[in-house]
């Protein structure tokens, strides 16, 4: 399994609410198209303020690539995603990809 974590720092409370609304709208588009939607939206209990982490799960890297390409080619999602930049603090966002840990050497 592949887990993608998209980290963002939003500017303020209004940006926080709009960011979460955008995630829900994108999830609805993804679900209607039969594509992967977020598996969770998180924030820290302690640590830096205004952090949002969106997680998505994929069967493997091939599915990750296919789903990402499909989402980034969807005009509805591209239009919504263009609004994220105004909501977030520049240079504070990043993505992570994790793979399921399996035993080594067996």
Query: For the chain, how many structural domains are there in total?
Result: 1
Say how far apart CA 63 and CA 1 lie, in whole Å: 10
| pLDDT value of residue 7 | 97
Instruction: Specify the DSSP class assigned to residue 34.
Output: T
Q: Is residue 2 part of a domain?
A: yes
Q: Is residue 32 part of a domain?
A: yes
Q: Is residue 73 part of a domain?
A: no
Q: Is residue 10 part of a domain?
A: yes
Task: Report the predicted TM-score, pTM, of the whole model to 2 decimal places.
Answer: 0.90
Range of the domain at 23: 1-52+79-93
Q: Is residue 62 part of a domain?
A: no
91, 72 in Cβ contact below 8 A? no
39-75 residue pLDDT tens? 999 999 999 899 999 999 999 999 999 999 999 999 9
């Amino acid at each position: 399994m592949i887990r993608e974590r998209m980290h963002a720092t939003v500017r303020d409370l209004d940006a926080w609410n709009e960011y979460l609304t955008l995630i829900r709208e994108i999830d609805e588009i993804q679900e209607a198209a039969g594509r992967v939607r977020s598996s969770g939206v998180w924030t820290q209990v302690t640590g830096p303020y205004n952090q949002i982490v969106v997680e998505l799960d994929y069967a493997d890297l091939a599915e990750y690539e296919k789903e990402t390409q499909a989402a980034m080619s969807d005009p509805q999602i591209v239009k919504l995603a263009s609004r994220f930049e105004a909501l977030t603090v520049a240079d504070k966002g990043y993505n992570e990809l994790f793979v399921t840990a399996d035993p080594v050497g067996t």
